[in-house]
Structure 1
Amino acid sequence: MSLAPMSVEVVLGEFVEKDCGNYFHYSENPDNYEFCKEFPHVVWVGGIGQQYRYANVKKTVAYIAVDEDEYGNAVVEKWKLKKNVQYV
């Protein structure tokens, strides 16, 4: 279970990842960097400092930037969603 930190003003929703059954919150991407323009969301993955991954969350899938390649391009995984509850 990965929840957004209390400092996040608006949590857009939550989902359960289908393959492993993990639960995540997601919110609007606060960063204006050019490399993350294609990711309108961040998925909160927990850990020290409340880490997040850039993402594009759709109704039944989420595209998550999990790493970058040797050229600085995002390595994207497609996660199938079991539940996607949008709050706003």
Structure 2
Amino acid sequence: MASHSIPHFHNDAGHAKIEIGVKEFMCVGAQPPYDHPHVYLDMGDATEIVCPYCSTLYVYNPDLAANETIPAGCVYEVVEDAA
């Protein structure tokens, strides 16, 4: 799996809110092939932001690492072909 320099998150399960440990990230909506345009979001001084495509509410939680979410399992990792 390839990693991103900026964390990417998805919301396949349709959670009303996802807590994340970063303030700058990419939202992909659902995982491909059902994803929306991968949009860069920056909370700035705020502690929450809504994705303009999928309306997922992301809430900053400083106790989480960049690769952790509440609920768990919302980190998106790109799987590249070995060919």
Q: TM-score range by the shorter chain?
A: 0.3 to 0.5
Q: TM-score, normalised by structure 2?
A: 0.33
RCO higher in 1 or 2 (8 Å CA, sep ≥ 6)? 2
Q: TM-score, normalised by structure 1?
A: 0.32
Higher strand share: 1
